[in-house]
Every structure is written in C-alpha cells, then in structure tokens.
Amino acid sequence: VKKGLAVNMYSTMVALQIMDTIFYEAQRQGRLSFYLTSTGEEAINIASAAALTSDDIVLPQYREPGVLLWRGFTLEEFADQLFGNKNDYGKGRQMPIHYGSNKLNYFTVSSPLATQLPQAAGVAYSLKMDKKEACVVVYFGDGSTSEGDFHAGLNFAAVMESPVIFLCRNNGWAISTPVTEQFRSDGVAIKGQAYGIRSIRVDGNDALAVYSAIRAARQMAIKEQRPILVEAMTYRVSHHSTSDDSTKYRCVKEIDQWRTEKNPITRFRKWIQRNDWWDDQNETELRGNIRKQVVEAIQTAEKVEKPPLRDLFGDVYDKIPSNLQEQERFIRDSIKRYPKEYPFDVPV
C-alpha cells in the first residue's frame, strides 16, 4: 500500500467516524428518526472497499456506509437519505441508513437480515454469464449467519461457482445476542469450508490485513470463478443503533478496551505516521474540514422539502390498484379535514 492510497484510506476512515458521530448526535437531538454507526468497524468498511474496483457489485447489510463513502457517495447524498427529503433516491420511503446507489453499484440496504446473501449468489452468477472482470461482495454480521438465507446463499454460490466474496463482520454481537449464544462452531470461516468454499479469517481491525485479504479474495473469485468467504474479526463498539443501550447487556470495560486499545483508526494512523505520511497538522485540518462539511450537509438536507404525497403510492404497480387508490383518497381527505396535523414540508 503506497502513500496516496494509505492516506486516502485513512482520511476516509476518519470521515466515516466523524459522519457517524455527527449524524448520531443529530438523531439524539430529535432531528433524525433513527441512526446506526459503524464505530469500530471502519477498517473493514474502508479497506475492503479500497481493495475492490468500481465494477464490483456491493450488496451491503447496513453497517457498511464506508464502502459507499469510498465510492464517492457525497455527504449531501447521505444526509438526503437520512432526512428522507425529495432528493433521496428512495423517495423518503425507507428508514434512515437504507442507502443505495445504482451509479455506484451498491444495492439498497434491506432490513430483513441475510436476504442479500442468496441475492449475491445470483448477481455474481449473472457476472459469470456475462464473462465480466468483476465480482460481487456481500457483507453481513455474525447474527445473520443464523438465518436460513446464509446457508442457501453459500450453498448456491458454491455449486454455481459464483464469483462472490462473502464478507462476514464478526463483531461479537447481534443487538443483545453475543456470538456465544449465536453458534457453537469456531466462528464463521469453518462454515464456509463446510460448503466447499475457500475461507479465511482476518483481523478486521487491521486495515492492511483486510485490504490484503480482500484483494486476494477478489483475484481468486474472478480468475478462478468461485466464491470466497472472509471472516473479519472485530467488535461493535457502538450500541446496535439509536434504539438500544448496550451497557444494559454488556460491560463498559469491554467496550472501552475496543474503543481505545484496539481502535482500527488509531492503529492505521500509527502506521502512516511511522512512514512519515501523516502528522498532527494533517489530522487537525482533516477533522476540521470534514466536520464542517457534515454539518453543512445536515443543515442543507434538513431544509429540503419532503417528496410529494403521491410518491407514497408509486413505483410498485403499473396501474395503481383500487385499494391503494382508496387509501390515497382517504389520506387526502384527512389532510383537508385536519390540515394543522399534517407536516408542512410534504407537498400534497
């Protein structure tokens, strides 16, 4: 990893950290309905993204916004989705953090866990049929491996020889369920092997290790036309989301240790500083710039009006069925009768 790439990786890890901190605070202030951070998993996010090319197709779980950030999704685009305003590609119909971008080959996050795994096997098979020099990367947590779709996805990819990288973020927790209650196997890599998939376990808090593993996995997936599983060991430093308080089910000392001693950003910074590629002044400037950009993105997105009411009913059916037409009539009628109860920033 040369200087330019290393500095870019580090800067994007810091950008992800700052974006997470400020968006999280905006949720606590009541400006957003929901948020979820990737704290502690910045190396997996950014180093894996850096090891791919933009032709590779990403199917995320939800704790991988850093991959989008790396690919050029702007802070404004993140903020537009979070506020569900009229610039949001999902037209405000999804919860915050359900990002997606056709342009950046990043499938939209879907809430039901593990659905992305069998889909990834299929998307990768389509790349194979088209003889593309690209692969699919599908992200998931340790908790998602308990879904039937995990097993279906792995087996499907193995027998169809789909060029897909299964990237498991084994962060120790699935909301309040620890991995010890999730499975009795030695982690997840061994499950890949059981399906006949080459599998490797890496230190997910070591950006260089993640980068090397994903680069090698990509090479293998494309050249040998087969799936690969990478289990990246890490820790979910944040609460699961803004909907829980993780100190109710795990000890603060454990969280603090991962936040400080094992922090992937600090580790990578030490390496680039030792190479004389980074100093305190770079750090101060970077953090100041990003903070300013995130705050501006929030202030702008917050003021943009919401998508029009009719968007609630579109994009599913060619002709809107009668029950939905009835719902639309009902909602418009209610707005007429109770105009003060209706949000002023949603055009009718």
Ligand X SMILES: Cc1ncc(C[n+]2csc(CCOP(=O)(O)OP(=O)(O)O)c2C)c(N)n1
Query: CB of 126: closest distance to ligand X in angstroms?
Result: 25
What region, left, alpha or beta, does residue 52 occupy, with left being phi > 0 and alpha being psi -120 to 50 degrees?
beta
176 is catalytic: no
Where b means 16+ CB within 10 Å and e means fewer, 161-188 reads ebbbbbbbbbbbbbeeeebeebeeeebb
For residues 230 and 217, is the Cβ–Cβ distance under 8 A? yes
Q: Determine which residue in the list 98, 128, 239, 240 makes contact with ligand X, applying CB under 6 A.
A: 240
Q: According to the binding rule CB under 6 A, does residue 141 interact with ligand X? A: yes
DSSP state of 239: -
Q: Mask: binding to ligand X, 296-325, rule CB under 6 A, as x and -?
A: ------------------------------
Q: Determine which residue in the list 218, 236, 239, 306 makes contact with ligand X, applying CB under 6 A.
A: 236
Tokens of 153: 């996805």
Residues 28-67 that bind ligand X (CB under 6 A): 63
Residue number of the CB atom closest to ligand X: 141
Residues 280-299 that bind ligand X (CB under 6 A): none
Tell me the torsion sign for CA atoms 207, 212, 215, 220. negative
Which residue in 11, 162, 241, 246 is the catalytic one?
241
Query: CB of 191: closest distance to ligand X in angstroms?
Result: 14
Q: According to the binding rule CB under 6 A, does residue 98 interact with ligand X? A: no
Residues 262-281 that bind ligand X (CB under 6 A): none
- Kind of pairing, strands 136-141 and 164-170? parallel
Query: CB of 20: closest distance to ligand X in angstroms?
Result: 13
State which residue, 6 or 114, has the beta carbon closest to ligand X.
Answer: 114
The DSSP annotation for 29-91 comes to: TTSSS-----TT-HHHHHHHHHTS-TTSEEE--SS-HHHHHHHT--HHHHHHHHHT-TT-TTT
Cβ-based neighbour number of residue 279 at 10 Å? 10
111 is catalytic: yes
Query: CB of 68: closest distance to ligand X in angstroms?
Result: 16
Q: Backbone phi, then psi, for 290, in 5-degree steps? A: -65, -40
Residues 156-175 that bind ligand X (CB under 6 A): 169, 171, 173-175
DSSP state of 244: -
State which residue, 54 or 115, has the beta carbon closest to ligand X.
Answer: 115
Question: Applying CB under 6 A, which residues contact ligand X?
Answer: 63, 111-113, 140-144, 147, 169, 171, 173-175, 236, 240
The residues that are catalytic are: 25, 111, 240-241
